[in-house]
Structure 1
Amino acid sequence: MEVIIISGLSGSGKSIALNALEDNNFYCIDNLPVTLLSSISQHLNHEHQDKVAISVDIRSIDIEKLPHVIKEIESLSIKTKLIYLESSTESIVRRFGETRRRHPLANEKLSLDEAIEKERSMLAPLAEIGYKIDTSNMSVNVLKTALSELIQLKEDRLALQLSSFGYKFGIPLDADFIFDVRCLPNPHYESNLKNLTGIDKPVIDFFENFKEVDKMFQDINHFVKEWLSAFKIEQRHSLNIAIGCTGGKHRSVYIANKLFTNFSNPKSQVTIRHRDINH
């Protein structure tokens, strides 16, 4: 049996995530009191429900006890995976404006912005232990794909998540390390390369002509390789390495792809996402 726990900020896409899991034959429960997680998991295990997804958030009673309860469930030999969704304040404000729903923490003393930041602070301990997904600029289909990738990862191995992004669209909130490659030569100023991306061969050929591009790749590669084992020892489930350039189409995509190729092997758990490649 595996229990997927979906948590995160209000307005970050938890309902969409839960619906996606339900479409993939998960038995889903929304907004369960945290103290009931262990007993419900045991009951469903006895009922031979091998795929269970439970949503808990700031509305859930005793949300602060979730890290302890997860350990309690795992002690019963039930695999547990916490997926934490977050999003920028700007995107959450926009979503609440579109749906005209009220934020759970909003009241006459707290503006919507203040309620979002208060929730972010209250849920920070969960963000530290979960598989993080930044949904700020994600479509529904991209979120479903990211969920599918995380669900397939094995808990006994550290998952390396690589991503590229454009600084002009904001820094990804789910990154553990961010590397800035805006100092590298930019194909954007080459008329025949401007509308291509870092996965296209002419752009790859362009980058391979510059020693500084290879030096940047080697330095980042060495850093990740050097410290990956340390994070495994700390029993981290995932490590998200984000590579950023101005627009997120050329330099960051090229470096992220090279890292993906270098770290991918039958024994590894490596995923890649190019956040802004289609902007």
Structure 2
Amino acid sequence: MRLLIISGRSGSGKSTALNVLEDIGFTCIDNLPASLLPTLIRQVRSHGEKDENSYAVSIDARNDQDDLQEFPDFVVALRQQGLDCELLYFDADEGTLLKRFSETRRKHPLTDDQTDLRAAIDQESELLAPIASIADLTIDSSHLSLHQLRDLVKKRVAGRESPGMAVLLQSFGFKHGPANDCDLVFDVRCLPNPHWNQSLRALTGQDEAVAEFLSGHEDVRDMLDDIESYLQRWLPKFADDNRSYMTIGIGCTGGQHRSVFIAEQLHQRIEATFNNVQLRHRELRK
């Protein structure tokens, strides 16, 4: 049996994630009281469900506050029973959440006569902090369209069907916001910038001309070698610590040239060493 626990702030993508998981064969349960999770697991097991069955359960801030505080203990107990249990936490920055609720005219579950939308968003973050602190994978949907979010959930969750740690290399641009969902971040803004070459400005790090430009600089080659050396040495240690997911951010100024090139090159270099290495360019729109 495989169990995915989905949580996160309202408007960050939990419902979308559940829909995707249902489409790929998970049995999904929305807004389950946290205290009932151990009971649900016992009931499923008592019915003789086979190990290959997969379930996704959504836990949100409408739970009893004491249950949310004790939730990390629930998860530890489930894992001690040998359950394949992963926790995915969805979030977005406050501005994005405010915009989404304004555009959809949905009511936040914690708003009332005394609590406005902004206060409800802050309160929800506090209530869910114990869950967020133990998440195996955090997905920041601030920069994702609905289609991109669906694809990312499918890629990362489906990727975990194979044994071992799922690694995601993600390029991004600092000027578009930090990569809040990354476990490691490498800043490559010190490298020569193709943006200042007029013939390369409209291209990306996936284009051959940009790759030739960057490959011709010793600093770029040294940066690549050093990051690869770090990953080759330390990623196995993270995997040995029972990590299911690892997200590695490569950031430059705009997320178009240097970070894209470095992420592409690292993907080629380490995918033969590790079981499941994925690649995503946050700022490149397809």
**With structure 1 as the length reference, what TM-score do the two structures score?**
0.89
- Separation in 2, partners of 1:272, 1:2: 25
Where in structure 2 are the equivalents of 1:86-235 lying within 5 Å?
86-107=91-112, 110-130=115-135, 131-152=137-158, 153=160, 157-235=164-242
Match of 2:34 in 1: 34
Tell me how far apart the structure 2 counterparts of residues 224 and 110 of structure 1 sit (CA, whole Å).
46
Map Cα deviations across residues 188-210 of structure 1 (whole Å, 9 max, x no partner): 23233222211122211111111
SS of the counterpart of 2:227? Answer: helix
Is the 1:28–1:52 Cα contact (8 Å) retained in structure 2?
A: yes
- Measured after TM superposition, the shift of residue 109 of structure 1 is 5.5
Unaligned 5+ runs, structure 2? none
User: 3-12 vs 75-84, which deviates more?
Assistant: 75-84
Structure 1 residue 76 displacement after superposition: 3.9
Match of 1:48 in 2: 49
Contact 2:68–2:127 (CA<8 Å) still a contact in 1? no
Identity %: 39
Question: In the alignment, which residue of structure 2 is the partner of 1:250?
Answer: 257
User: Would you identify which runs of 4 or more consecutive aligned residues in structure 1 move more than 6 Å?
Assistant: none
Summarize the Cα distance change of 1:128–1:223 in structure 2 as closer, same or farther, 3 Å threshold: farther
Deviation at 1:223, TM superposition (A): 2.8
Question: Residue 172 of structure 1: CA displacement?
Answer: 1.7
- Paired amino acid for 1:255: I
Asked whether the 8 Å contact 1:5–1:55 carries over to 2, the reply is yes
SS at match of 2:181: coil
2 CA distance for matches of 1:108 and 1:172?
Answer: 35
CA contact (8 A) 2:171 2:251 kept: yes
Provide the rounded CA distance (Å) in 2 between the counterparts of 1:20 and 1:217: 35
Q: What whole-Å deviation, never above 9, does each CA across 1:39-82 have from its counterpart, x for those lacking one?
A: 21232342637121111111123123332222333344432221
Q: Among 89, 103, 117, which residue is 1:84 paired with?
A: 89
* Alpha-carbon contact 1:7-1:55 (below 8 Å) kept: yes
1:10-48 CA distance string (max 9 Å, x none): 110101111121222321110001111122123234263
Whole-angstrom CA distance in 2 between matches of 1:213 and 1:133: 29
Q: In 2, Cα distance between the equivalents of 1:142 and 1:224? A: 27
Q: Report which stretch shifted further, 63-72 or 169-178.
A: 63-72
Given candidates 59, 63, 74, the residue that maps to 1:60 is 63
In structure 2, do the counterparts of structure 1 residues 150 and 64 end up closer, same or farther at CA, with 3 Å as the change threshold?
A: farther
Is 1:5–1:80's contact at 8 Å kept on the other side of the alignment?
yes
1:160 aligns to what SS in structure 2? strand
Q: Could you tell which deviates more after superposition, 63-72 or 159-168?
A: 63-72
Distance 1:48 1:160 in 2: 30
SS of equivalent to 1:147 = helix
Range that drifts further, 125-134 or 248-257:
125-134
Please report how far the alpha carbon of residue 156 of structure 1 lies from its aligned counterpart in structure 2 after TM superposition. 6.0
Distance (whole Å) between structure 2 residues aligned to residue 21 and residue 98 of structure 1: 25
Change (3 A) 1:177 1:213: same
SS in 2 for 1:129: coil
Counterpart CA distance in 2 for 1:25 and 1:235 is 25
How far did 1:163 drift?
0.5
Figure out how many residues of one structure are paired with residues of the other and give that number: 279
Contact 2:71/2:130 (<8 A) preserved: no
In the alignment, the residues of structure 1 paired with residue 189 and residue 153 of structure 2 have an alpha-carbon distance, to the nearest angstrom, of 30
Q: 1:66 to 1:150 in 2, by over 3 A?
A: farther
Verify: 1:278 aligned to 2:285, yes or no: yes
In structure 2, the residue matched to 1:259 is 266
**CA shift for structure 1 position 264:** 0.9
CA distance in 2, matches of 1:243, 1:180: 6
